[in-house]
Structure 1
Amino acid sequence: MSSSMRGLVQFIADLRNARARELEEKRINKELANIRQKFKDSNLNGYQKKKYVCKLLYIYILGYNIDFGHLEALNLIASNKFSEKQVGYLAVSLLLNENHPLINLVLNSIRKDLNDVNELHNCLALHAVANVGGKAMAETLNTDVHKLLISPVSKPEVKKKAALTLLRLYRKTSHAVQKEWAERIVNLLDDPDFGVVTAVASLVIVLTQDDPETYKIAYGRAVNRLHLIIIEKRCHPDYLYYRVANPWLQVKLFRLLQNLPPTDNADELASLLDVLQHTLDHFGQNVPNVQQSNAQNAVLLEAVNLAIHMEVNMALMDKIVSRLCEFISSRETNLRYLGLDTMSRLSEKTADMEPIRKYQSTILGSLRDRDISVRRKGLDLLYSMCNYQNAEVIVAELMSYLETADFAIREDMVIKIAILTERHAPDYKWYINTIMKLISVAGEYVSDEVWQRAVQIVMNNEDLQPYAAHTLLAYLKGPVYYDSLVNIGGYVLGEFGHLIADSPGCSPIEQFMALQDKFGSSPPATKALLLSTYIKFVNLFPEIKPQLLQVFVTYSRSLDSELQQRACEYLALARLPTDDLLRTVCDEMPPFPERASILLTRINERQRSGSLATDNGLKLEPPVKPLIEGF
């Protein structure tokens, strides 16, 4: 090292030897004062500027604020010496951001280096543009970066950096990449250098996401490159990763194809199907080396995602499901998660769920996985693959698991079980039994939407009402209850308790006692609902009117204003000399109008907000009719 940089080495050593924060700050303040004084001297040469700027950068990296020296750093960029230019660009990358007022002063120097014949200067300028970015650089330098990317004389190292820099600028502003550049950019997917192709693939992936129509010309080139790598095994030895040919490029090309609509070209389609078939047959099976296995599995999963996007033939789909099931059965948690996640995506796309349902028992086993993220994915997949044929088995398994499930996913499970129970119920009795068991098992996780939805279904199905009232009364007589169970019980018995009044164990006084037994420990909202039930009872069961009036009298003196008002109004209504007004007020509620399911609305809102694990959507099964039309 030259003597001019020994001061920097000594300065760093002094800071490392400082035994206290105060000593470090003292040494830094002394050095900053010295540097300020030196910068006032206009006779500093390039080496000296470089040394002092390096000291400023080191101080900045330690977390201290640097409010001077920026212009000296910019002057170093204009130097013809690489070491000085390098330090100047490093200072720009660290000390300036895209909104810094000095950015405009450096644009001309960067443009000059971008157009320089020296590739080292090109690379330094590209680094600075990529690190700082910003709208100003995107609008001013995008053309120069593009020229470096497509220039036939640019070296591979420069092309790689130019592609990634253009990607950075495009992410700042979409105007950084012009549509007329599409063909020249896509042509680079045929570049003989794999590094260039990998960098360009990263750029094209983002471009195809935003403008698939303009960049659909990349489809054929991506397929040809995949065929060369996977089928013809043409790959430079430098890009072999544990005997896997450039897995990063393969993954990127598969992702690129997923952003574009499937091709209409028969030759391209046949070539791509060969690639997919070969990948499914030979990747990820019996690989002893962990790194090689990871690389092959990464490629395999992206190939499967592409096959799902293309909606390939059934024979290939069976093989895909079989391979994904191997992932689900793997000992590695990551593979189990990815297998379930990909299978969920497949279930969204395919109309025929039979290949997936063959492995139902394996998927059910994921609910008891030791990792909660795997259990969540298993729940999502079971939710999406459920239909009227396997609903009873899946719902029963979910109910069994619900009793011991983690608290973090219980509410999600409750909502999904409720939706599946309604959508695929073989009969009304099964629906009521399942919903009641759900509430009794996980009542504290049952949201209002669940029991309100059950009330809607009971109200709109006349044949269901007596059985629902009888079942709810039996649960209310049990020792374990939750507020949601009392709510639905109070609502249904208030409307339909008279339908079972003649049944053994269901007399009016027994219905009243079952509700009153839960009344004292219920929250105010539930008490208010039960008071409404009791006024209905006054109309339906005059024989227990004295007991009901006593409740109204007691709560007419309640400290809760809502309960007090209800009790007073109901007491006045019950004491009217004639029952005409009482019968009018307490008339049976009409059926609910058709509306979107409140449960589906809830689950969709939570999915959009990201608070719920991936939902996968609900599939309507044509063979079975929902319990309530339009719900």
Structure 2
Amino acid sequence: MIRAIRACKTAAEERAVVRKECAAIRASINENDQDYRHRNLAKLMFIHMLGYPTHFGQMECLKLIASAGFPEKRIGYLGLMLLLDERQEVLIDLNHTNQYIVGLALCALGNICSAEMARDLAPEVERMLQFRDPNIRKKNNQLTYLLYKSEIKRKGDWKNFTKPAALCSIRIIKKVPDLAENFINPAASLLKEKHHGVLITGIQLCTDLCKVSAEALEYFRKKCTEGLVKTLKDVVNSPYAPEYDIAGITDPFLHIRLLRLLRVLGQGDADASDCMNDILAQVATKTESNKNAGNAILYECVETIMSIEDNGGLRVLAINILGRFLSNRDNNIRYVALNMLMKAITVDAQAVQRHRATILECVKDSDASIRKRALELVFLLINESNVKPLTKELIDYLEVSDQEFKGDLTAKICSIVAKFSPEKIWYIDQMLKVLTEAGNFVKDEVWHALIVVISNASDLHGYTVRALYRAFQTSEQESLVRVAVWCIGEYGDLLVNNVGMLDIEDPITVTESDAVDVVEIVIQRHTSDLTTKAMAFIALLKLSSRFPSCSERIKEIIVQYKGNLVLELQQRSIEFNSIISKHQNIRSALVERMPVLDEATFMGRRAGSMPATVSTSTTTSINIPNGVSKPSMAPLVDLLDLSDDAPAPTSIGGSGDFLQDLLGVDLSPAPNQPGLKPAPQNGTDVLLDLLSIGTPPPQSDSSTSDILSSVQDNKLPVAPLDGLLSPSTPATPVIDLLDGFAVKPPTPENNGSAFPSIVAFESSLLKLVFNFSKPLGNPQTTLIQATFTNLSSDSFTDFIFQAAVPKFLQLHLDPASGNTLPANGNGSITQNLKVSNSQHGKKSLVMRIRIAFKMNNKDVLEEGQLNNFPHGL
């Protein structure tokens, strides 16, 4: 049958042969043919190993077990272990007079024993551990061979070579750990055996006992450690023994089992560790490493050394062995060495550093799994002293690495540069190299962080924009183009005038027209996505103020997109054209350079804190995964050049104009200036007039709602605009940026019955009170007025309130009434919230809040979770 199956050339032929054999076996079973029963079961086991169903003949196993002869029982037990499981009720021959049949029964029990059988048969197995007959105490060779061929090759578990009684004991203590104490003394007696088969099984039994019983672990530590050390020394120094020799090494299986048991005993125990130090050093130095058997012993020896209590010399020796493994041609050996080095670096980083060059070569290996593991290890090796040479090596390899590996390598390099950067100019240089080589693999938060760093490095603005201009000429990577466009828009005048030249720079000549050419190329390039083009439009608007001589050309470029099918570009084109054509008197103020971005705040948000839907005072809900601000394309935000990390604006004297404070200029128009009216004294924001916005209605199809909702789809940072769109601002005459698209006046809401107020949050510094109301006819919506009171003796500035809600809630925040909170309760800040509950009547409101402010120029953060909302909201 086996020859016929192996001769099949197709799967269909094999299935035909198997069907024919199964039919013959069924016929033989129906005829109750006892002479061929054992042969039929052998065929069934082979068919089962091929993956075909054999359930119809499995009960033949029990008939063979019940037979009188040893050959039939041998095949029956083997079939029992292969074809049946612990759910079957079987009769085990533990009390048979034939010692070989008892060995078969113990083998079967060790493989399919259930918890109930273990409890019932544990005394019998414990008694058999005391037998002196090796035929009971270990398997016979024929059964071992059959198990190896059928079961062990499939499971890869070589401990089945052990004696049946100990094998069965291991199964019992795994199924019923409570019985472990009954096997401690019998297992300890097995460690004194001279027969390798019995000894290796006893060691495995002791190892498993230590894992399930603290009592057994303590017993073996005190009573057996010295004996195990002596046994290992005898095995290491034993002469050639043909029976146990593999590749010139005496019984490597026994070596490995002894080392594993010593590792368990030495872990956390200084006395036991001291006892085994000498023999471990001997194993590490005497074992040959040119054969797999020797490498297996060395690996287990290294793992034992790294697990037991501290011994500096031994650990250096172990790490050097791993360093030799890294030079091995076998990929499996190198991979396990890298895994072990990742554990060793937490114990002795200095010893691992000596093999840094070899590890770095593994990053360039052709095997993908070795590359990834080596890259993780390099990341752990880097510190402030070696970051520059290692980063250079990684970036050099980035140029020639495979495309599928560039993503992982780029992410690690960016993380290394951000974490260990010694100075900003080095950080900028390395990030530009990464963006030039693999910018398309760089995540958004990485180039956002680069922009933040550039913004904070005021002495490097000219150097950076020139470096980006050069890089743009040679690379089309999307992230690089975005950073280049942003910097040219911000610092284009520094690029043209060669401001801030450093000694390390080469001279460069760039005209105003050249700078505009770069941005125009980005807009016209078909590979540029919507985010990049939107950023390019912003850059053009800024350059129109920086380069007055190019203003008309910039206007012509922008006007081309007034009829673009992409609404975002069309809207920007219309608004920016209106600013350039009609509002030149305020253009320079609008496109002033961005304020220095708060680097610490941005990095903190990157680290992640509020993974829910976070609402800030931009009057829209923004999803912030892992604390990273979701980008925005909203023209409203872009016009002001605000990022998510811009510091919250403050009002001069508490009543000054917001836009004047933000931009640092006086925007009050002259009394007779056409097209503009004097700023009203009731606090109306000039910016509201500029953007034709009054109070934003809660449910409106106006242009204002469209502009504000577009914040959710942008990929530029968004800033909290506290006080920007004050709901109390009355409507005023406006400048039309949208060429005739008027904004509808807001519709006042009609509130229904009120709910009792609650103290939502209170600390030693701050008190927050919520007042509730419901709009008529809309029970799902709740209107909340939040009132903040300062309980301390110091005033608060840069006040920002944020909130997060679960997915079944929708949260909308209006701007706060101010951002300065007087001391001692002499005033308050109010802010309106609107919450829509899609599970109204089923789930109550719940909210997490975060309140940030500055007290005595120090940042303060208050956080809390609100679960005490009135019933019915």
Q: What amino acid is the match of 1:319?
A: L
2:598 aligns with one of 583, 591, 602: 591
Q: Is the 8 A contact 2:266 2:309 kept in 1?
A: no
| Aligned-residue offset at 1:157 | 0.6
Q: Is the 8 A contact 1:142 1:166 kept in 2?
A: no
Alignment of 1:224-239 (within 5 A): 224-230=227-233, 233=236, 237=241, 238-239=243-244
Q: Is the 8 A contact 1:509 1:544 kept in 2?
A: yes
Task: Identify which of structures 1 and 2 has the higher relative contact order when contacts are C-alpha pairs closer than 8 Å and 6+ apart.
Answer: 1
Q: Percent identity?
A: 25
Is 1:138 matched up with 2:115?
Answer: yes
1:148 aligns with one of 122, 125, 130: 125
Deviations 1:181-228 (A, max 9, x none): 573476266241433343344455566567778635444635641443
- List gaps (5 residues or longer) in structure 2: 140-161, 500-508, 610-625, 627-873
Q: Distance in 1 between matches of 2:260 and 2:608?
A: 31
Further displaced range: 587-596 or 509-518:
587-596
Alignment of 1:210-221 (within 5 A): 215=217, 217-219=219-221, 221=224
Structure 2 counterpart of 1:34: 27
| Aligned-residue offset at 1:253 | 3.5
The 1:508–1:350 alpha-carbon spacing in structure 2 relative to 1, beyond 3 Å, is farther
The 1:518–1:340 alpha-carbon spacing in structure 2 relative to 1, beyond 3 Å, is same
1:274 aligns with one of 273, 278, 299: 278
Structure 1 counterpart of 2:201: 199
Is 1:123 matched up with 2:103?
Answer: yes
| Larger strand share, 1 or 2 | 2
| Aligned-residue offset at 1:368 | 4.9
| Aligned-residue offset at 1:599 | 9.2
Structure 1 counterpart of 2:519: 515
Further displaced range: 254-263 or 413-422:
254-263
Q: What amino acid is the match of 2:299?
A: L
2:454 aligns with one of 439, 454, 458: 458
| Aligned-residue offset at 1:485 | 0.5
Structure 2 counterpart of 1:623: none
| Aligned-residue offset at 1:563 | 3.6
Structure 2 counterpart of 1:157: 138
The 1:315–1:513 alpha-carbon spacing in structure 2 relative to 1, beyond 3 Å, is same
Q: What amino acid is the match of 1:31?
A: A
Structure 1 counterpart of 2:636: none
Structure 1 counterpart of 2:480: 485
Q: Distance in 2 between matches of 1:166 and 1:570?
A: 82
Q: Is the 8 A contact 2:42 2:75 kept in 1?
A: yes
Q: Distance in 2 between matches of 1:231 and 1:82?
A: 38
Q: Distance in 2 between matches of 1:284 and 1:548?
A: 75
The 1:410–1:197 alpha-carbon spacing in structure 2 relative to 1, beyond 3 Å, is farther
Q: Distance in 2 between matches of 1:234 and 1:480?
A: 64
Deviations 1:449-490 (A, max 9, x none): 4333423433455555454333223322x2323111112223
Structure 1 counterpart of 2:709: none
The 1:542–1:581 alpha-carbon spacing in structure 2 relative to 1, beyond 3 Å, is closer
1:326 aligns with one of 324, 327, 339: 324
| Aligned-residue offset at 1:385 | 2.1
The 1:54–1:585 alpha-carbon spacing in structure 2 relative to 1, beyond 3 Å, is same
Query: SS where residue 428 of structure 2 aligns?
Result: helix
Structure 1 counterpart of 2:394: 398
The 1:47–1:301 alpha-carbon spacing in structure 2 relative to 1, beyond 3 Å, is same
Structure 2 counterpart of 1:180: 181
Q: Distance in 2 between matches of 1:566 and 1:164?
A: 77
Q: Is the 8 A contact 1:472 1:489 kept in 2?
A: yes
1:528 aligns with one of 509, 530, 534: 534
Structure 1 counterpart of 2:298: 300
Q: Distance in 2 between matches of 1:231 and 1:336?
A: 30
Structure 1 counterpart of 2:703: none
**How big is the alpha-carbon RMSD for the aligned residues of Structure 1 and Structure 2?**
4.3
Alignment of 1:373-412 (within 5 A): 373-412=369-408
Q: Is the 8 A contact 2:522 2:532 kept in 1?
A: no
Deviations 1:295-353 (A, max 9, x none): 333222222223233464443344344444333344555555444443343223225x2
Q: What amino acid is the match of 1:524?
A: L
**Larger Cα-atom Rg:** 2
2:583 aligns with one of 577, 582, 585: 577
Deviations 1:551-581 (A, max 9, x none): 4433343333444444445555666637669
Q: Distance in 2 between matches of 1:16 and 1:423?
A: 59
The 1:201–1:540 alpha-carbon spacing in structure 2 relative to 1, beyond 3 Å, is farther
Q: Is the 8 A contact 2:236 2:283 kept in 1?
A: no
Q: Is the 8 A contact 1:142 1:176 kept in 2?
A: no
Structure 2 counterpart of 1:5: none
Q: Distance in 1 between matches of 2:353 and 2:268?
A: 30
Structure 2 counterpart of 1:503: 498
Query: SS where residue 217 of structure 2 aligns?
Result: coil
Structure 2 counterpart of 1:88: 76
Q: Distance in 2 between matches of 1:599 and 1:411?
A: 20
Query: SS where residue 270 of structure 1 aligns?
Result: helix
Structure 2 counterpart of 1:627: none
Count the aligned residue pairs: 565
Structure 2 counterpart of 1:78: 66
Deviations 1:238-263 (A, max 9, x none): 43444434322332343345456634
Q: Is the 8 A contact 1:163 1:203 kept in 2?
A: yes
Q: Is the 8 A contact 2:131 2:137 kept in 1?
A: no
Q: Distance in 2 between matches of 1:33 and 1:403?
A: 66
Q: Distance in 1 between matches of 2:285 and 2:16?
A: 65
Q: What amino acid is the match of 1:140?
A: M
Q: Distance in 1 between matches of 2:69 and 2:354?
A: 69
Q: Is the 8 A contact 1:470 1:506 kept in 2?
A: no
The 1:165–1:597 alpha-carbon spacing in structure 2 relative to 1, beyond 3 Å, is farther
The 1:479–1:331 alpha-carbon spacing in structure 2 relative to 1, beyond 3 Å, is closer
Q: What amino acid is the match of 1:180?
A: E
Deviations 1:69-105 (A, max 9, x none): 444432332334323323333333343345xxxx443
Structure 2 counterpart of 1:608: none
The 1:90–1:245 alpha-carbon spacing in structure 2 relative to 1, beyond 3 Å, is closer
Structure 1 counterpart of 2:466: 470
Q: Distance in 2 between matches of 1:104 and 1:232?
A: 42
Q: Is the 8 A contact 1:186 1:217 kept in 2?
A: no
Alignment of 1:226-265 (within 5 A): 226-230=229-233, 233=236, 237=241, 238-258=243-263, 262-265=267-270
- List gaps (5 residues or longer) in structure 1: 1-10, 606-631
Q: Distance in 1 between matches of 2:576 and 2:300?
A: 65
The 1:256–1:558 alpha-carbon spacing in structure 2 relative to 1, beyond 3 Å, is farther
Q: What amino acid is the match of 1:555?
A: Y
Q: Is the 8 A contact 2:488 2:495 kept in 1?
A: no
Q: Distance in 1 between matches of 2:4 and 2:332?
A: 47
Deviations 1:577-596 (A, max 9, x none): 37669956977263251546
Q: What amino acid is the match of 2:232?
A: I
Further displaced range: 412-421 or 229-238:
229-238
Q: Is the 8 A contact 1:262 1:310 kept in 2?
A: yes
